[in-house]
Every structure is written in C-alpha cells, then in structure tokens.
C-alpha cells in the first residue's frame, strides 16, 4: 500500500515538473516576442533557423560517412598482407612432395575462384603423379611485389626457387627458378589464390 502511494506521489511530481517546464518555455517565448515588439531584440528569421538546422544535419551525416570510410580502410588488406599470402600459397603450390599426401588439399585450401575450379579437377592426377615420380622438393620465395590492386583483390608478382630431388633418394638436386603472376583475393576471411599464371 505504501509503495503504491509512493509511486502515485512520484508520478504526480514528474507531471508537475513537466507542466512547470512547459510553462517556463511558453513564458520565455512570450518574453522574447515582447522584447522583439518593444525593439529590444531583433527577430531571428525562420530561414536562418532552417539553414542552421540543415548545416548541422549535413555535418553529422558527413562525419558518419567519414568514420565508416576510415573504418573500411583500416580493415582492408595491405600490400604486405597480399604479398605474404601470395608467398605462403605459392610456396605450397610449387613444391611437390610425395611424403605429404595432403599437399593437394593444402593447395585447394589456399585457392578460390577459377584457380580452385581448375585445380580441383586435376587434384587426384596431381597427387598420383607426385607419388609415382617420388618427387621431393623444397621451395623458397625470393621476392614478391603487388603490381595492381582492384577493390579487395591484388595482382602479385612472385619470384621463387624450387630445389628438386626427382628420384627422392639419389642425392642429385636441381634448382629451378619460377616467376608467377597470381591474383590474391579474400575468401572466407583469408587471402587465397584466385588465378595463377607462370611467366617466362
């Protein structure tokens, strides 16, 4: 019972305060109008209020757009990100190893788009060929560089060296240098190879 009376009393106080504020606002408007009529104050043109409001709204919208654009650029991959992803993906791609039966799956995990579709069709043949030849190799990426960017994707040039031991146990090693142009694009939160082109 005491709680209900307290709630009623609180609601009545809030209503009284709102009424007092409304009356104060009306009194201030009336005072302003009388001061304008008496020549003590200049009237504020309605156009000026509308213009000031529009300027404030436009400023807030532009600030919001700037924050969103800045946030998007902070989340976009950098050239270093593209180069690092290209180096990692190419190192796996160009180094066959018959001791690693999951190599084709690793290549596919780092692929997307056209390159994924093309390699997926020949992944079993790739694995069978590497197993049959007993290929063992180690790769090292000698250099990378972003040559072009298009939205979230980048074209990266990669120079790499692969040291082959074709028979696996012969001890004879052959080194080959490769130059590639790869398209690196985001897919499922990771940068992957979307296209691969070997260069002469």
Residue range 127-133: mean pLDDT, rounded: 83
**Residue from 195, 184, 194, 197 nearest 84 by CA:** 184
pLDDT band at 83 (very low <50, low <70, confident <90, very high): very high
Tens-place pLDDT, residues 27-54: 877 877 787 778 777 766 667 767 878 8
Tens-place pLDDT, residues 143-159: 999 999 988 899 999 99
CB of 124 closer than 8 Å to CB of 67: no
Domains of the chain: 2-75 (no CATH), 79-199 (3.10.450.50)
The more confident residue out of 54 and 179 is: 179
| Token output for 68 | 């969103």
Residue range 125-130: mean pLDDT, rounded: 85
Give the Cα-Cα-Cα angle 8, 14, 17 (nearest 5 degrees). Answer: 140
Residues whose CB falls within 8 Å of the CB of residue 98, separated by 6 or more in sequence, listed in order: 130, 131, 133, 134, 135, 136, 168
């Amino acid at each position: 019972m005491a709680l209900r009376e307290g709630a009623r009393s609180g609601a009545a106080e809030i209503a009284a305060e709102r009424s007092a504020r409304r009356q104060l606002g009306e009194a201030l408007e009336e005072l302003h109008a009388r001061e304008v009529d008496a020549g003590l104050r200049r009237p504020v043109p309605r156009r000026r209020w509308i213009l000031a409001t529009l300027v404030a709204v436009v400023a807030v919208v532009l600030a919001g757009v700037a924050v969103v654009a800045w946030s998007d650029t902070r989340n976009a991959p950098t050239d270093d990100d593209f180069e690092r992803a290209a180096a990692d993906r190419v190192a796996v791609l160009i180094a066959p190893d018959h001791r690693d039966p999951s190599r084709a799956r690793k290549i596919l995990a780092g692929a997307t788009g056209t390159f994924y579709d093309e390699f997926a069709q020949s992944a079993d043949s790739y694995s069978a060929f590497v197993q049959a030849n007993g290929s063992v190799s180690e790769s090292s990426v000698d250099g990378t560089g972003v040559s072009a960017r298009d939205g979230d994707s980048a074209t990266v040039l990669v120079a790499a060296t692969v040291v082959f031991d074709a028979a696996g146990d012969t001890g004879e090693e052959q080194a080959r240098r490769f130059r590639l142009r790869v398209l690196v694009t985001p897919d499922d939160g990771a940068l992957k190879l979307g296209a691969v082109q070997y260069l002469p």
